[in-house]
């Protein structure tokens, strides 16, 4: 079996982490979570965290191990960079499109706010809707799955 990258794509509260955990349980693949890196390094500024995430993602890709990327991956540009790095290393990339989110996903996050104010999550939801671009196979995906939302 070849190296696989399973990329979760979607807004906050859409079910990406739930699906990532399900895939991990079925395959044993590691989950790479930018959210976890942000939580563990909250003392750093945004640019430092972004660089740390980028470096750790490159290390994950360089490891040659199949894995799941549990990040938003909302834009074509962001996805193309990751897909390019992965395919250069021989990965087959699968996408899971959860969409930008809706009122149900916003309420899901508001009911589990992770110690953040509701105003913050409302802004995140708006930003997700603005930035989301539906993924296409032509970006370099082997296949794109549309999980139940």
Angle between helices 46-63 and 76-88 (to 10 degrees): 30
Q: What is the CA radius of gyration of the chain?
A: 15
Task: Count CB neighbours of 131 within 10 A.
Answer: 13
Q: How confident is the model at residue 149 (pLDDT cuts 50, 70, 90)?
A: low
Q: What's the confidence (pLDDT) of residue 1?
A: 62
* Span 55-83, pLDDT tens digits: 999 999 999 999 999 999 999 999 999 99
User: Regarding the domain delimited by 4-145, which CATH topology (the fold level of the hierarchy) does it fall under?
Assistant: Rossmann fold (3.40.50)
Q: What's the confidence (pLDDT) of residue 113?
A: 77
Task: Count CB neighbours of 100 within 10 A.
Answer: 23
Q: What's the confidence (pLDDT) of residue 112?
A: 82
* Span 1-45, pLDDT tens digits: 699 999 999 999 999 999 999 999 999 999 999 988 988 888 888
Q: What's the confidence (pLDDT) of residue 123?
A: 93
Q: Name the pTM for this structure.
A: 0.92
CA atoms 94, 8, 83, 89: torsion sign:
negative
* Span 94-147, pLDDT tens digits: 999 999 999 999 998 888 877 778 899 899 999 999 999 999 999 999 999 998
**Domain edges within the chain:** 4-145
């Amino acid at each position: 079996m070849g190296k696989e990258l399973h990329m979760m794509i979607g807004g906050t509260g859409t079910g990406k982490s739930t699906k990532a955990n399900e895939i991990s349980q079925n395959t044993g693949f590691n989950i790479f979570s930018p959210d976890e890196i942000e939580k563990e390094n909250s003392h750093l500024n945004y640019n430092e965290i972004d660089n740390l995430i980028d470096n750790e993602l490159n290390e994950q890709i360089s490891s040659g191990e199949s894995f799941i990327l549990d990040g938003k991956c909302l834009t074509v540009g962001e996805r193309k960079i990751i897909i390019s790095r992965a395919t250069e290393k021989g990965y087959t990339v699968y996408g899971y499109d959860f969409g930008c989110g809706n009122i149900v996903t916003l309420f899901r996050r508001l009911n589990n706010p992770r110690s953040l104010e509701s105003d913050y999550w409302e802004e995140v939801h708006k930003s997700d809707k603005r930035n989301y671009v539906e993924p296409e196979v032509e970006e370099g995906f082997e296949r794109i799955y549309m999980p139940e939302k």
